[in-house]
Structure 1
Amino acid sequence: MGVPAWVWGLTIAFIIGLLAFDFFFHVRKAHVPTLREAAIWSALYVGIAVLFGVAVLVFGGPGPGSEYFAGYVTEKALSVDNLFVFLVIIASFRVPREDQQKVLLFGIVFALIARTGFILVGAALINTFAWVFYLFGLVLLLTAGNLLKSDHGDDEQEADNFVIRIAKRFIRTTEHYDGDKLVTVVDGKRMLTPMLLVMVAIGGTDILFALDSVPAIFGLTQDVYLVFTATAFSLMGLRQLYFLIDGLLDRLIYLSYGLATILGFIGIKLILHALHENNVPIINDGEPVPVVEVSTSLSLAVIIGVLLITVVASLFSRKGKAQTAIANARRHAIAYLDSEYTKDPEERERIFRALLDERDQILALGPKYRQMVRDEAELIDLLNRAAAKHDEAVARGHAEPFTRRGLT
């Protein structure tokens, strides 16, 4: 699809404008977005991406339109999977709730810059070396295998990549945050805050994400404009989506299987395409191999179908409900006990109410899943300490009393 320079310029300006609007009107003032706010802005960004896709269909034709939507849906699904790791990083660094938006926006901007660089490099390689499709296909197949072996419940493993280890080793910071500042003054000396370390961890992890997502979208379209826009619009609204599905991320227990299927499918599609365009001497004497190629419309149908099955299966799984409630109860108990997590009394009450809701969900699931909680002594201790701390707040008149039913 031939795209003139002025269209490129308008597109980039529009994306930069969206990011600037997001910063000045939402992120600049530290606050915890409400569920309604997150839902409205998430829907708006998805609507913008869909309208852009419709414009591609109208002006570019059904081929480019299908390629854009296939790329956008795939990249959006991978972005949701990335939120698991963002959640673990933010929790492990104890980022105050009010300041999490700035960390996420930085992550989105860095991801967009990193992926744009990978897109340009990938396009140059594809135009120069046809065998790159073999490499991209192999990368996706290996990634699919790793996803099948991974476990989102293993937080330590997911938050302990080499980028974070290097950052912790070379960046020395204060023990406490100073709002969302990167630099603060302690005993008359200027020092870095943990906020910088978090941003480095998020940014470095984004680079690792790009190694998976860029080959995936090149497996669906080689049009650089479509690759760039599908990637950019999939990242837009990721910050709002984080707060919208924060408590539901652990519910998607089969997401990794769905993504592994999609990446494996695209990997096979890339290898078939590489065989069809083959010029590697050691394969069929450098001649193209007559193989069936997968159409973009079939790719789009497979991607959407797999995601629908994955999400529906996850949402109806009782095990998924139990794992979600347990993981969220642990996270909310830790947050409630952390005096630095939020200074907003309403947010602290929201956390405790959420903790009680999760307790009720576990009780409603029956004795089998209540036993899952009883088997975790550390979680029971956290819940008891959170309840005791809330009782202290009630005694001081800083919180409303609740009727509690124990899990033990």
Structure 2
Amino acid sequence: MTVPTWLWFATIGGLVAIILADLFLVDNKPHAVTIREATRWVLFYVALAVVFGLGIWLFAGGTYAGEFFAGYITEYSLSVDNLFVFVIIMATFKVPAIHQHRVLLIGIVIALIMRGAFIAIGAAAIERFSWVFYLFAAVLIYTAINLARQGTDHDEEFTENRALRLLRRMLPVTEDFLGSRSFVKVDGKRWVTPMLIVMFAIGSTDLLFALDSIPAIFGLTQEAYLVFTANAFALMGLRQLYFLLGGLLEKLIYLSYGLAIILGFIGVKLVLHALHENSLPFINGGDPVPVPEVGIAVSLSVIVGVLAITTVASLVKVRRDPSVVPGTPVPAVAAGDDTAAAVGGAERAPAGTGGGRPARRRDDADPTG
């Protein structure tokens, strides 16, 4: 796929224009985002992605369009997992509802810039070294195994990574939020507010998720333009999805299993592709191995099918057993039961206060190592 320079600039310019327009709307009238408003924005960004994919189909062919849609759906589904962490971060920093949209917007812009650099490095490495696919496959399979092992366990708190701790040491931070301002002057000294810290927390934490989501999309397409645009559309619609899903996040109890299957599938696909492009001397004498490769149509079908089954299974389970959702009170125990003292009045952690995020534990999540 040949992408002219002007198209790169036009695409990035269009994304910047959307971000600036969104930022203007947020700054013009800060408010808590309603479900109706979030729904409109989610539909808008999904429609943009669909139109973009159809444009690729028209000008570059169905194969590249299929790769874009497969990459976009994969990145969007993996991004849903990010939302659980974002909920915890918002609760940890006690971000006022009227400023959460701005925090997510700037945080995601930071994440998109860092992902862009990551994508450029990954594309350059793939072009020069075919064995990188083996590395990407190992990362995905390892992550898939961890997700499957952790099941429906939940993290209960957010731990600041090294980059955040370094930022706090370098800059004086005020105790409270001061409107939507990130910088203030107090007695002639410049301070930063928690607004800047939480934005950086969103952006830097997302980079950790890119460590498996970027290899995943490279398993579906090696076109840097498609990788970047799929990530951009997924991230741009992510913040609105945060407000739209709300309590539904806690009901996707099997999401981690579904993501594990998808990552494992793409990991195997990468191994097959790596063998097909093999140049390592200790494998088949350095010659390509004649193995079958998984087509994009099969990949797209598996991704959509797994997500659909995971969602339906989660909602059916929650309907039959509401107690599996964090925030659901434990049923009262009959008087005289020996266990009443142990469980009576106990409740799960309320959703959105640091108690709700499936599997995907990131205690070692630290973008700076």
Q: Which moved more, 1:213-222 or 1:141-150?
A: 141-150
Structure 1 residue 168 displacement after superposition: 4.7
Other structure's SS at 1:317 match: helix
Q: Write the deviation string for residues 129-154 of structure 1: whole angstroms up to 9, x where unpaired.
A: 11001011111111112222445621
Contact residue 258 and residue 310 of structure 1 kept, 8 A: yes
Structure 1 residue 171 displacement after superposition: 4.5
User: Taking structure 1 as reference, are residues 93 and 133 closer, same or farther at Cα in structure 2, changes over 3 Å only?
Assistant: same
Contact residue 251 and residue 320 of structure 1 kept, 8 A: no
Contact residue 327 and residue 348 of structure 2 kept, 8 A: no
User: Taking structure 1 as reference, are residues 11 and 152 closer, same or farther at Cα in structure 2, changes over 3 Å only?
Assistant: farther
Q: Write the deviation string for residues 72-97 of structure 1: whole angstroms up to 9, x where unpaired.
A: 00000011111111111111111111
Contact residue 258 and residue 306 of structure 1 kept, 8 A: yes
Structure 2: which amino acid aligns with 1:326? G
Structure 1: which amino acid aligns with 2:120? L
Note if 1:326 corresponds to 2:331. no
Other structure's SS at 2:200 match: helix
Aligned residues: 342
Contact residue 167 and residue 200 of structure 1 kept, 8 A: no
| 2:53 corresponds to | 53
| 2:204 corresponds to | 204
Other structure's SS at 2:310 match: helix
- 2:66 and 2:285 map into 1 onto residues whose CA distance is 34
Note if 1:4 corresponds to 2:8. no
Q: Which has the higher contact order (CA 8 A, sep 6+)?
A: 2
Q: Write the deviation string for residues 262-306 of structure 1: whole angstroms up to 9, x where unpaired.
A: 011101100110011101011121111121211111000000000
The 5 Å alignment of 1:301-312 reads: 301-312=301-312
Note if 1:120 corresponds to 2:115. no
| 2:102 corresponds to | 102
- 2:164 and 2:187 map into 1 onto residues whose CA distance is 28
Q: Write the deviation string for residues 204-234 of structure 1: whole angstroms up to 9, x where unpaired.
A: 1122122111111100000111111111111
| 1:289 corresponds to | 289
Contact residue 119 and residue 228 of structure 1 kept, 8 A: yes
Note if 1:144 corresponds to 2:144. yes
- 1:2 and 1:116 map into 2 onto residues whose CA distance is 19
User: Taking structure 1 as reference, are residues 253 and 377 closer, same or farther at Cα in structure 2, changes over 3 Å only?
Assistant: closer
> Identity across aligned pairs (percent)?
53
Mind listing any 5+ residue stretches in structure 1 that lack a counterpart?
Answer: 328-361, 383-408
Other structure's SS at 1:184 match: strand
| 2:213 corresponds to | 213
Contact residue 85 and residue 159 of structure 1 kept, 8 A: no
Note if 1:130 corresponds to 2:130. yes
Contact residue 275 and residue 288 of structure 1 kept, 8 A: yes
Contact residue 255 and residue 310 of structure 1 kept, 8 A: yes
Task: Give 1 or 2 for the bigger CA radius of gyration.
Answer: 1
TM-score when scaled to structure 2?
0.86
Structure 1 residue 183 displacement after superposition: 2.3
Q: Write the deviation string for residues 83-142 of structure 1: whole angstroms up to 9, x where unpaired.
A: 111111111111111111111001211111111111111110011011001011111111
- 1:372 and 1:59 map into 2 onto residues whose CA distance is 62
Aligned-residue CA RMSD (Å): 2.5
| 2:62 corresponds to | 62
Structure 2: which amino acid aligns with 1:31? H
TM-score when scaled to structure 1?
0.78
User: Taking structure 1 as reference, are residues 251 and 172 closer, same or farther at Cα in structure 2, changes over 3 Å only?
Assistant: farther
Task: Return the structure number with greater helix share.
Answer: 1
- 2:167 and 2:155 map into 1 onto residues whose CA distance is 21
Contact residue 143 and residue 260 of structure 1 kept, 8 A: yes
- 1:192 and 1:236 map into 2 onto residues whose CA distance is 26
Other structure's SS at 1:66 match: helix
Q: Write the deviation string for residues 50-83 of structure 1: whole angstroms up to 9, x where unpaired.
A: 1111111122111111101100000000111111
- 1:105 and 1:34 map into 2 onto residues whose CA distance is 16
- 2:10 and 2:145 map into 1 onto residues whose CA distance is 39
| 2:177 corresponds to | 177
Mind listing any 5+ residue stretches in structure 2 that lack a counterpart?
Answer: 334-339, 354-369
Other structure's SS at 2:247 match: helix
Which of the residues 320, 332, 346 maps onto 1:375?
346
- 2:344 and 2:160 map into 1 onto residues whose CA distance is 26
User: Taking structure 1 as reference, are residues 316 and 292 closer, same or farther at Cα in structure 2, changes over 3 Å only?
Assistant: same
Q: Which moved more, 1:5-14 or 1:95-104?
A: 5-14
| 2:229 corresponds to | 229
- 1:279 and 1:115 map into 2 onto residues whose CA distance is 28
Other structure's SS at 1:290 match: coil
